[in-house]
A and B are shown apart, each in its own frame.
Chain A
Amino acid sequence: MNESQNAIALEGTSPRVAAVMISVLAGIAAFCGLLIVLTFEATLPTIKKNQAEYLRQSIFEVLPNAHTVRKFQRSDAPSQGLESTRESGPILVPLVGEESGDELMVYATYDPSGELVGVALEASGQGYQDVIKVLYGYQPSSQQIVGMKVLASKETPGLGDKIELDPTFRRNFLQLDAKLDDTGQVLANEIVTVKAGAKKNGWEIDGITGATISSKAIGRILNASAADRLPVIARNLSRLEAEK
């Protein structure tokens, strides 16, 4: 049946034929909807498990000495005198039950004897193609970032994706200085990406030739996240350490 015949057929469509068309489409749509919902329900537990497992593996990658992980998040209860002074900021408490989806999620890790090894934090920011999501490990005892992993990125294969693969670039994050200044409110030195090979100070990241934008984005993401989160970690350090 060609197009003009189709048009003629439609013009002379009786209400009965129209009803058939509508009911067939509605029937197919209902069946398809049911199929999708069933698949979604059937695969959801596995998908959630996969994602949790992936995050867990990543935590151990950025904090290799870790043995156990505990999740902390912002306290909901605005009690305790500390909260009234605005400078004190959020209080971290162990996560109980379901994740609330709060962005301030801290994964504290401990060695077998229960000492705090470090905390893993998620951070994200705009890359060259799309948002880059990273996980990094911070060691409060040395005030250093000790590991970084890209969780999700759509950077150009072969160029920008070197931020995930390049071993020289990844070595930058094994001892990256992230000290707070004397007030404990801001970073003493901003974390910044410099030209490849130009790294002089502990807080600088050697960039990647051919992946300038992506490697600079990583520096920016880490700096923004560290400046925002590390003061909170520093203030809550005793709470994180107490959880054995």
Chain B
Amino acid sequence: MSPNDLTMDDFLKGLWDENPVFVHLLGMCPVLAVSNTVINALSMGLATLFVLILSSALISMLRRIIPKQVRIAAFILIIATFVTVAEYVIQAISLEIHRGLGAFISLIVVNCMILGQAESFASKNNVVTSVLAATGAGVGFIFAIFCMGAVREVLGSGTFAGIDLFGPHYQPWVIMILPGGGFFVLGALLLVTNRINGWLVARKEVLEQEVAGSSATPGR
């Protein structure tokens, strides 16, 4: 692939058009489980982004060396390594965050979003493109899990990143920070994103029709 083929599309498509959470519905386990506060959601998102970028880079580098038959084993090995690295680094940065994320750091290994990115993109493209696409998908994931965390924390605890929003008279909606609330909020966010996509498609069709109409012979 020549450098000319390098476009921002690889990065941008992960943010919305191919958002791993809202469009592909991948990586549901952390999205549902550790999105009960904004801080947890963001640190989970960052850890996933870290693993996604580094594993994509390494897999892309080794893509001509890894035999097809053992590629999945090799990918999992590489992903698991970076997850372990991320776990140690998080522990060194803050024990609080590590306690908040609990077992879910180790479970990044089985986040199918990362293996999917490795299998469908990094193993077929050069390093720069792979890292770009991985960053896009990772930022898209952070965006999604952050939306979840913000909605759930504001409704469920009346706070945003620990800052009290509504004063002492607010009665928190406890169900929102329980697992059930995760499903409600995810469903609502999927509804919203699908609606927005529906409008975008409809508007595009209208625009195309207008273009087609204006290029047709006048006076019809």
Given contacts A24-B67, A25-B74, contact A39 B174 (CB under 8 A): no
Does residue A82 face the partner (Cβ distance < 8 Å to B)? no
Does residue B24 face the partner (Cβ distance < 8 Å to A)? no
Binds A, one of B3-11, B43-51, B80-88, B109-117: B80-88
Contacts beyond the supplied A24-B65, A35-B85: 11 A-B pairs with Cβ under 8 Å: A1-B68, A9-B69, A17-B67, A24-B66, A24-B70, A28-B74, A43-B88, A47-B91, A157-B36, A157-B178, A158-B177
Contact of B99 among A1, A21, A40, A152 (CB under 8 A): A152
* Complex interface: chain A residues within 8 A of B14 (CB): none
Given contacts A6-B69, A39-B88, A158-B177, contact A51 B62 (CB under 8 A): no
Asked if A50 and B92 sit within 8 Å, CB to CB, the answer is yes
Interface residues of A (CB under 8 A from B): 1, 6, 9-10, 13, 17, 20-21, 24-25, 28-29, 32, 35-36, 39-40, 43, 46-47, 50-51, 54, 152, 154, 156-159
Does residue B89 face the partner (Cβ distance < 8 Å to A)? yes
Min C-beta distance of B107 to chain A, whole Å: 14
CB contact list, B133-173 vs A, under 8 A: 156-157, 172
* Complex interface: chain A residues within 8 A of B77 (CB): 25, 28-29, 32
Interface residues of B (CB under 8 A from A): 36, 62, 65-70, 73-74, 77-78, 80-81, 84-85, 88-89, 91-92, 94-95, 99, 102, 156-157, 172, 174, 177-178
Min C-beta distance of A210 to chain B, whole Å: 9
In the assembled complex, the Cα of A13 lies from the Cα of B89 at a distance in Å of: 41
Min C-beta distance of B109 to chain A, whole Å: 12
Contact of B84 among A24, A36, A47 (CB under 8 A): A36
* Complex interface: chain B residues within 8 A of A21 (CB): 67, 69-70
* Complex interface: chain B residues within 8 A of A29 (CB): 77
Min C-beta distance of B220 to chain A, whole Å: 51
* Complex interface: chain B residues within 8 A of A152 (CB): 99
Contact of A158 among B91, B94, B99, B178 (CB under 8 A): B178
Residue on B nearest A54 in the bound complex, by CB = B95
Given contacts A39-B85, A157-B177, contact A6 B70 (CB under 8 A): no
Asked if B91 and A39 sit within 8 Å, CB to CB, the answer is no
Residue on A nearest B85 in the bound complex, by CB = A39
* Complex interface: chain B residues within 8 A of A50 (CB): 91-92, 94-95
Asked if A9 and B174 sit within 8 Å, CB to CB, the answer is no
Residue from B67, B156, B157, B178 having most chain A Cβ neighbours under 10 A? B67
Given contacts A154-B102, A157-B177, contact A28 B69 (CB under 8 A): no
